[in-house]
Amino acid sequence: MGRPRNDAERRAAWWYRVRGYRILDTNGFLAWYELAAATSVRTKTASLDPFPIPRVTRVTVGTRRVRDPESYLQLFGRGYEVFPAILPGWQPIRFTADTASPWTDAATDVRIASRGSLLWIDGTILKIPLQLAQRIRRGASLRG
């Protein structure tokens, strides 16, 4: 993940590595843009400094506090995008850290389907392994 070097750029975009590189535009709304394979990622991200991964101190799934909060950072970059015919109910996943970051920002919207194996990250619906979805709903560690 990278962060812009100045405040004007900071409002423009965050970038994430999720199944290849994508740009997340945060100018009032969230939208994913996939970079073309021929585009140089280094050129497109040259003005970004690496954003340090936060020490996550708390994660909740719905109202359940998870046992290993830091293991939930691996949800970013999991699964593949799908377009389900019927949307399930969702449980919010909230990340808390001592320092602000894109992972723990109030605008970050992460959810797990109440049933099945769908994960929602900032409006993108991802299919993940059913066993992983079940572990998330239980608040179990995601390590290993």
Tens of pLDDT along the chain (144 residues)?
444 444 444 444 555 544 444 445 455 455 555 555 445 666 766 777 777 788 999 999 999 999 999 999 999 888 898 988 888 899 999 999 988 787 888 888 999 999 999 999 988 899 999 999 999 999 999 997
Nearest in space to 110 (alpha carbons), one of 131, 128, 85: 128
Q: How far is CA 68 from the centre of its chain?
A: 17
Tokens of 104: 């723990």
pLDDT for the residue numbered 4:
44
Tokens of 4: 């812009």
One-letter amino acid of 25:
D
Q: How far is CA 44 from the centre of its chain?
A: 20
Is residue 93 within 8 A of residue 119, CB to CB? The reply is no
pLDDT for the residue numbered 54:
84
Burial of 38 from C-beta contacts in 10 A (0-12 / 13-18 / 19+)? exposed
pLDDT for the residue numbered 136:
97
